[in-house]
Structure 1
Amino acid sequence: MFAYTITDFISFVKSNFLLIISLTVVTYVIQYYVNYFNRSSRIPGPFPLPFIGNLHQIGGDLSSAANLFQKRYGDLYEFYMGNKRIIVISRPDLVEKVWGPLSLKSTRFIMRNPFSEGLDELGLGTKGMVFNRDIESWNMNRKLLVPSISSPPFLRESIKLCSEIIDEVFECWKIMGEGAQVEFSDWIDALTADVVIRTATGKKVSSITKLFDSLNIKEKLEMQGVWQDGTDFIQAIHTYNESMGFMMLLPTFFRRNFPGIGKLNKKFLDNRDWIIKELDKMVAERRREIESIPLDQPLEQTILTLLLVTNTERDSKKNSSSKLDRPLTNEEIIPIIREVFTGGLDTTANTLSFIGFYIAKHRDVYLKMRKEVLDVYGTLDNPNITFESYGKLKYIEAVINESIRIFPTVSIIARTSVEEEEFDGFTIQPDTAIYTDFKALGNDPKYFKEPEIFNPDRFFNDKESIGKYSHLPFGNGVRMCPGRLWAIVQMKTFLVKLLCKFDIEPVCENDIPKYVYATVNRPVDIKLLLKTRKD
């Protein structure tokens, strides 16, 4: 009798398959909108569709979509990625509530993102720092990494290595000849890749050499001791960064089963596996090298080396800031060093490219930057660049801040509350993503006079007029960017050396730079003319 019942049921399902599917979908849609309209804390925002939410309106550019939503719905609105509710804020008092300088123990917005199966699949949900929801693990990783990449010895070594690699770029530009037209963002991508990989691991990569050789100039460059898989690794990191938004925001079922999307999902996961495999080889190789070096011989100050010697007999500090009292395993180091690459490659390179776009368009700003370099160093001919001198470069720092304000590389950053919160009378449930739209905030005339104008003086002569929490270039509070000092050192080193060597002019007179959205805003087609510096 039981067997007959099962057979009969299967037969019924087969004969009424379309009807069952239709009823299931209709039931889901009805329940979806009942829940939506019954929500007492429903915030203004675009009307979502079942299954996809507002994906059809967002497309592939969340940054641009957020700009349109903010203009239509204001400084507090909501939208949906699939069934995930996302709140967006772009008002200083709301930003302070989320990003205020609260301690680790008291902040309610300690989480970066709500639970995401996609982030867990990428290995980010419980490892590393950026998206790590395991607070104990996150805090340990932060205490291991931040002191290392913020210490004066490391930053001095970074300036030295950065200067050497910048000189390689300038040598290429010299060979290209007076008045050469360069794809500036391509060169900055190559420069930053070589700097970050070299500073993080000690390995040499050939991004600059390969870019130069691709121009089919008769003269060829040669580089000795190059990491052969380096350029493949850099491309894999770029792909990994692109995959974050895809894996985090798209519903799991949609990612895995929708035609065409499933193939992209597999590509991103295969790329994840390849990166882990390469990093494992890199860490193991460097560990063997360190073990073969005598204890009285100094080691190169790379990030990987600093992590590998933590809590060993080579560690003079014995990492007193962490509860960890043993050396790190490969499995613990890999997520940290991976985030050095994912956080250090795109963000610094893109910011420098945007800066290049704006200072090329504003000759007066460029000359004021050059004057500051002359005032600080006393010469423009191979000045003695030191870490200590960087605190005096106030106008150049203002230029960096203004570029980030007007066109930030990371325009939208998420935080998540661990408790129920209230914004303007609307109740927000725990584990809801709160996105801060820094691009909308920085371009709002309520907080910045004539925001469309590139004006570094607002951060130099008029910096007192910058409202609290209206400009957070590296975030704020306990989740502030751990590599901010390293990034600033790289940018100041490049800008000082550029100002001393070249005059630059824009090829196109676009009002805003072109970009593509790939989790971050990546500038493209930024063409500049290079000329020898004229005093």
Structure 2
Amino acid sequence: MAIYHIFFALKFTDYLIFIVLSVLTYVSQYYYKYFTRPNKLPGPLPLPFIECGYLFTGNNKKLLTSLHKKYGDIFEIYIRGMRRIVISRPEYLEKIFNSSSNDTTFIQRFPYLEGLDELGWLGKGLKANHNIKSWRFNRQFFDQAILSPSFNYEAVEWINNLVQELEGYWKSLANLNLSQDDKNEWSLEIDIAKWIHRFTCDMVSIVITGERCYSMTSYYNIHSTLKVTRSDTVIEDSERFIQGINEFFLKAIYFTYLGPFLRNNLPFIKDKVKTLLGYMDFMFETLDKIIKKRRREIEEMPIGAKLRSDMLTSLIVTNTERDMNSVKISKDNIFRPMTDIEIRGNLLDAFLGGVNSTANAFTAIVYYVCRSPEIKQKMLAEIDSIFPPNNSLHLKYDDLLKLEYCTAVLYESARISPNTIEQVRYVETPCEIAGHQCEAKTMIIINVNGIHRHKDHWPNPGIFDPDRFYKKERHKCSLVTFGGGLRICPGRKLSLTELLSLMVIVFGKYDVELVDKGAPLEVESGGLNIHKGLPIRIKPRK
């Protein structure tokens, strides 16, 4: 009763003073704790309540580049109650990338983040799986499925078939308005970024499901008056599916850098968040349909019948009576089948990792090669020496391995225009990095652009020069295109095979030039660099 009387006896000014004192007390404690923190590193000053969130614009590349320039090769930034140490020097990565299966200090990418959980991405598949046992379970399967030597040869045959189809679409579009006499001298303006995104989506679809999603067909139908009909597509709306992948890489960063209140209420962000969640629902629904359809097909087959060799089928039958593999895969030391949600997580990671990264990489290769005539001629000379122009061009995996200069071009393009902006590790126990102690529950951010353009390792880092990689040594951590250590990308060999194959086909069979040689490479950055488009002009090479 006394408290009741005191409460109503207080005036407005009394409440205001109480609120001000509470805020001042919080701010004082906040900055006392910040300025007396152990193991200090340089970095931007965090603000109470929002920490360094005031720096966030959605463009992580711009943010990390500016902070690297201001604070050096190692600095700290506080976001969402967590210390994040940003590394931009190759030598500092050695301990992270040298971790073994017995040392799991740097094995984890993310802690539990409610934002990733809201996206339906956390704890499933590989990329954002914070459960180490579950991650090992899935990684063992990925390695078993796509790192075998036989897989490389199968992949090249799939590429041969897809490239033949792609060339057919290009020729058809070029010939639509030509007379019969002119059809051998055709030329065509295309957006190579858009076409290669459809190519890689078709490629991932075959690798994962054994079926086509006919993304190239859908894109061709958008631009052609002559329509192609496909009734057996595994993804009915592949255009929307690809757009969903792009939206994910541009906007998922809002779910890792901003709390739920900010991302769901800030006027210029909440609509983007809502859009991405809609695309995620669509992609999950699409993948669920694919899984259920294949599961029904398998259940209708007799035990012992020969099944497809695609990854989806293997995921479904793993550790069941239909599993023909001699090597079993366990989770929590229990040999059990995968659930549909676990399978969906692996499929989503495969599409996310396999579509954009390879398409963006090839778009950058085309851009830089076409701006460098001497490099282009040197690359063509190597292609012609291994794949003679007068012979029918049927790719073979062993021949692709001979392309040393083309490989150097590929790596230099990946260096100067990386797909990833940051690579993340989360440490649950104290550790040491570059002579600095990191407390438990710290996130380590690898600034990819800073690593790839570090002046101590790359003279004239802004110049496109494949000779940096051509029979020359470099620091083992100075190129982090596919990451490193236990978390190295499991699809790296497939990506390299696709890229080399596309280089041979596109440059070996066609004269390629940029429509606007003076235009910069148009890139949109969020959590990943997305090449929005690259208009080129192609015609059959004489």
Question: Partner letter of residue 488 of structure 2?
Answer: M
Contact 2:210 2:308 in 1 (8 A): yes
What SS does structure 1 have at the residue aligned with 2:475?
coil
Q: Cα gap change, 1:222/1:274 in structure 2, threshold over 3 Å: closer, same or farther?
A: closer
Aligned mate of 2:416, from 406, 410, 413: 406
Once the two structures are aligned, what percentage of the paired residues are identical? 33
Give the drift of 1:270: 4.3
What SS does structure 2 have at the residue aligned with 1:519?
coil
Contact 1:154 1:301 in 2 (8 A): no
Q: Cα gap change, 1:299/1:448 in structure 2, threshold over 3 Å: closer, same or farther?
A: same
1:242 match: 250
Contact 1:163 1:494 in 2 (8 A): no
- Distance (Å, rounded) in 2 between the aligned partners of 1:325 and 1:475: 30
1:317 aligns with 2:314: no
1:116 aligns with 2:113: yes
Q: Cα gap change, 1:240/1:522 in structure 2, threshold over 3 Å: closer, same or farther?
A: closer
1:153 aligns with 2:143: no
Contact 1:311 1:318 in 2 (8 A): no
Q: Cα gap change, 1:15/1:94 in structure 2, threshold over 3 Å: closer, same or farther?
A: same
Matches within 5 A, 1:402-481: 402-462=412-472, 464=473, 466-481=474-489
What SS does structure 2 have at the residue aligned with 1:515?
strand
Q: Cα gap change, 1:212/1:28 in structure 2, threshold over 3 Å: closer, same or farther?
A: farther
Question: Partner letter of residue 405 of structure 2?
Answer: Y
CA-to-aligned-CA distance 1:194-228 (integer Å, 9 cap, x gap): 2222322234334323333333x444333342332
CA-to-aligned-CA distance 1:338-367 (integer Å, 9 cap, x gap): 111121122111111111111121233333
CA-to-aligned-CA distance 1:66-120 (integer Å, 9 cap, x gap): 11211221111122334432211111221112222x2122242111123322122
What SS does structure 1 have at the residue aligned with 2:252?
helix
Comparing 189-198 and 10-19, the one that deviates more: 10-19
Question: Partner letter of residue 257 of structure 2?
Answer: L
What SS does structure 1 have at the residue aligned with 2:525?
strand
Give the drift of 1:444: 1.9
- Distance (Å, rounded) in 1 between the aligned partners of 2:138 and 2:110: 17
Aligned mate of 1:223, from 212, 221, 230: 230
Q: Cα gap change, 1:504/1:117 in structure 2, threshold over 3 Å: closer, same or farther?
A: same
Q: Cα gap change, 1:9/1:269 in structure 2, threshold over 3 Å: closer, same or farther?
A: farther
Aligned mate of 1:485, from 459, 478, 493: 493
What SS does structure 2 have at the residue aligned with 1:353?
helix
1:397 match: 407
Give the drift of 1:438: 2.0
Contact 2:304 2:322 in 1 (8 A): no
Contact 2:319 2:329 in 1 (8 A): no
2:197 match: 189
Contact 1:504 1:530 in 2 (8 A): yes
2:295 match: 287
Q: Cα gap change, 1:430/1:360 in structure 2, threshold over 3 Å: closer, same or farther?
A: same
- Distance (Å, rounded) in 2 between the aligned partners of 1:173 and 1:507: 16
Contact 1:190 1:211 in 2 (8 A): yes
Aligned mate of 1:70, from 68, 71, 76: 68
**Structure 1 residues without counterparts, runs of 5 or longer:** none
Question: Partner letter of residue 295 of structure 2?
Answer: R
Q: Cα gap change, 1:273/1:228 in structure 2, threshold over 3 Å: closer, same or farther?
A: closer
Q: Cα gap change, 1:33/1:175 in structure 2, threshold over 3 Å: closer, same or farther?
A: same
Q: How many matched pairs?
A: 528
Matches within 5 A, 1:294-309: 298-309=306-317
Give the drift of 1:504: 0.9
CA-to-aligned-CA distance 1:412-443 (integer Å, 9 cap, x gap): 11112232233455332112111111211111
Comparing 328-337 and 514-523, the one that deviates more: 328-337
Question: Partner letter of residue 438 of structure 1?
Answer: V
Contact 1:409 1:520 in 2 (8 A): yes
- Distance (Å, rounded) in 2 between the aligned partners of 1:380 and 1:51: 67
Question: Partner letter of residue 79 of structure 2?
Answer: M
1:349 match: 359
What SS does structure 2 have at the residue aligned with 1:433?
strand
What SS does structure 2 have at the residue aligned with 1:232?
helix
Contact 2:159 2:498 in 1 (8 A): yes
Question: Partner letter of residue 228 of structure 2?
Answer: L
Give the drift of 1:507: 2.4
Contact 2:413 2:464 in 1 (8 A): yes
Aligned mate of 1:386, from 396, 416, 423: 396
Q: Cα gap change, 1:48/1:394 in structure 2, threshold over 3 Å: closer, same or farther?
A: same
1:164 aligns with 2:161: yes
Matches within 5 A, 1:46-57: 46-57=44-55
Contact 2:315 2:338 in 1 (8 A): yes
- Distance (Å, rounded) in 2 between the aligned partners of 1:251 and 1:28: 20
1:141 aligns with 2:138: yes
- Distance (Å, rounded) in 1 between the aligned partners of 2:143 and 2:11: 59
CA-to-aligned-CA distance 1:359-412 (integer Å, 9 cap, x gap): 121233333333323333445643232233332222222121111111100131
Q: Cα gap change, 1:372/1:305 in structure 2, threshold over 3 Å: closer, same or farther?
A: farther
- Distance (Å, rounded) in 2 between the aligned partners of 1:301 and 1:510: 47
- Distance (Å, rounded) in 1 between the aligned partners of 2:336 and 2:244: 31
Give the drift of 1:312: 3.8
TM-score (norm 1): 0.90
1:533 aligns with 2:541: yes
Q: Cα gap change, 1:281/1:410 in structure 2, threshold over 3 Å: closer, same or farther?
A: same
- Distance (Å, rounded) in 2 between the aligned partners of 1:60 and 1:470: 26
Matches within 5 A, 1:7-86: 9=7, 22-86=20-84
- Distance (Å, rounded) in 2 between the aligned partners of 1:13 and 1:122: 46
Comparing 308-317 and 66-75, the one that deviates more: 308-317
- Distance (Å, rounded) in 2 between the aligned partners of 1:296 and 1:252: 50
CA-to-aligned-CA distance 1:229-260 (integer Å, 9 cap, x gap): 33333333333333431111112332244445
- Distance (Å, rounded) in 2 between the aligned partners of 1:85 and 1:200: 37
Q: Cα gap change, 1:18/1:506 in structure 2, threshold over 3 Å: closer, same or farther?
A: farther
1:339 aligns with 2:349: yes
- Distance (Å, rounded) in 1 between the aligned partners of 2:346 and 2:9: 54
- Distance (Å, rounded) in 2 between the aligned partners of 1:425 and 1:386: 47
Q: Cα gap change, 1:20/1:174 in structure 2, threshold over 3 Å: closer, same or farther?
A: farther
Q: Cα gap change, 1:318/1:28 in structure 2, threshold over 3 Å: closer, same or farther?
A: farther
